[in-house]
């Protein structure tokens, strides 16, 4: 009977600890609920992918040819309906600013997903500039293609390339005639950030002043990538602190790199 009496006492002792855990990690529970549980249920009920569901909403809530309305519709859907890890409006403003400041003519995006980032970049590009965006998932690429065209961007402005980034990067010069990348936006699998950066270096597509912006370097995180950037001596770099898109309680950040090609690394 003593052991039976101990059990509720132990449970009571653990209660404050459990409450502390729930409170401290509440935003991660929200993320798990919205990104995993809701998605699983909706996948079963709808027979569509999450990206296809987002597109259905966007299609009925936007003005064709108006990129801003497409971004706003995505942001609303991701906040209120289901979670998709687009760059989102807050971190997106940094991307907007860097595109406007650098006025890049040739841009590479790694990880098109459903086209949010591509639309965000394309609307700020100078006249005559071109965005090449790479997506390995064919089903997502089909959605992204529709989103990009719905926003009013044709093949001359945004070219969608379907395939794994590590296969696409070595062929950019040969297949697309690209001599130099002025701007690279990385928002694909975080484990690919470092090998893909090294592929870009090896391909000779980065020139002095080429800018690379990498999203989600704090959460989910890209520690090997950050360690390499700091030690390589090839970049000026800075980390922009931020919060995770659509979940303001989770800390995140973006890494902004400027290729200097040798010498010692400098923090901007």
Query: CA quadruple 31, 32, 37, 42: dihedral positive or negative?
Result: positive
For residues 110 and 135, give the distance between their C-alpha atoms in angstroms, rounded to a whole number. 7
More confident residue, 87 or 7: 87
Q: What is the pLDDT of residues 189-222, one digit of tens each?
A: 999 999 999 999 999 999 999 999 999 999 999 9
Provide the domain count of the chain. 1
Q: What is the mean pLDDT of residues 131-142?
A: 98
| pLDDT computed for residue 129 by the predictor | 98
Q: Looking at the domain assignment, is residue 12 inside a domain?
A: no
Does 101 qualify as catalytic in the annotation?
A: no
What CATH number did the domain enclosing 163 receive?
3.40.50.150
Residue 266's pLDDT band (cuts 50, 70, 90): low
For residue 238, the cross-strand partners are 256
With residues binned 3-state (H G I as helix, E B as strand, rest as coil), the percentages for the chain, rounded to 5, are 55, 20, 25
What's the confidence (pLDDT) of residue 264?
44
Question: Could you give the CA distance from residue 10 to residue 85 in angstroms, rounded to a whole number?
Answer: 40
Q: Which of 190, 196, 252, 256 is catalytic?
A: 190
- Of the listed 135, 196, 245, 252, which one is catalytic? 245
Domain membership of residue 164 (yes or no) is yes
Of 51, 82, 187, 252, the catalytic one is 187
Across 9-36, average pLDDT:
88
Q: Is residue 216 part of a domain?
A: yes
pLDDT of residue 268: 58
| 263, 245 contact by CB (below 8 A) | no
Is 251 among the domain residues? yes
119 falls within a domain: yes
Instruction: State percent of the chain over pLDDT 70.
Output: 95
* Residue numbers of the domain that contains 205: 85-259
Q: Does any domain span residue 25?
A: no
- What is residue 6's predicted lDDT score, i.e. its pLDDT? 60
The residue from 109, 216, 252, 256 that is catalytic is: 216
Is 146 a known active-site residue?
no
φ/ψ region of 127 (left if φ > 0, alpha if ψ in -120 to 50, else beta) reads beta
Whether the full predicted model's pTM is greater than 0.75, yes or no, is yes
For residue 64, being part of any structural domain is answered with no
pLDDT tens, position by position, 177-193: 999 999 999 999 999 99
Q: Which residues contact 128 (CB under 8 A, 6 or more apart)?
A: 105
- Nearest CA-CA partner of 113 in 89, 95, 138: 138
In a domain, 29, yes or no: no
- Which residue in 82, 145, 215, 252 is the catalytic one? 215
**138-150 helix and 50-59 helix, angle to the nearest 10 degrees:** 10
CA distance 122 to 127: 10
216 is catalytic: yes
Cα separation of 228 and 224, whole Å?
6
- Residue 2 gets the label, from left (phi > 0), alpha (psi -120 to 50) or beta, of alpha
């Amino acid at each position: 009977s003593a052991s039976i009496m101990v059990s509720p006492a132990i449970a009571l002792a653990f209660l404050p600890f459990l409450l502390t855990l729930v409170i401290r990690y509440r935003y991660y529970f929200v993320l798990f609920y919205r990104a995993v549980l809701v998605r699983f249920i909706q996948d079963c009920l709808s027979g569509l992918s999450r990206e296809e569901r987002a597109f259905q909403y966007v299609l009925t809530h936007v003005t064709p040819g108006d990129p801003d309305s497409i971004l706003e519709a995505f942001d609303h859907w991701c906040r209120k309906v289901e979670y998709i890890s687009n760059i989102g409006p807050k971190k997106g403003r940094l991307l907007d600013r860097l595109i406007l400041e650098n006025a890049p003519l040739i841009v590479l995006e790694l990880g098109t997903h459903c086209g949010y980032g591509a639309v965000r970049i394309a609307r700020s590009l100078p006249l005559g500039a071109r965005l090449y965006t790479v997506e390995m998932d064919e089903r997502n690429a089909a959605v992204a293609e529709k989103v990009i065209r719905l926003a009013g961007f044709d093949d001359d402005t945004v070219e969608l390339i379907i395939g794994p980034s590590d296969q696409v990067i070595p062929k950019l010069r040969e297949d697309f005639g690209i001599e130099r990348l002025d701007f690279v936006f990385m928002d694909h699998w975080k484990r690919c950030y470092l090998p893909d950066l090294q592929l870009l270096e090896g391909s000779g597509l980065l020139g002095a002043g080429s800018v690379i912006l990498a999203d989600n370097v704090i959460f989910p995180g890209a520690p090997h990538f950050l360690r390499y950037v700091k030690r390589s001596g090839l970049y000026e770099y800075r980390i922009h602190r931020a919060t995770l898109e659509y979940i303001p309680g989770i800390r995140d950040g973006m890494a902004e790199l400027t290729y200097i090609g040798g010498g010692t690394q400098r923090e901007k």
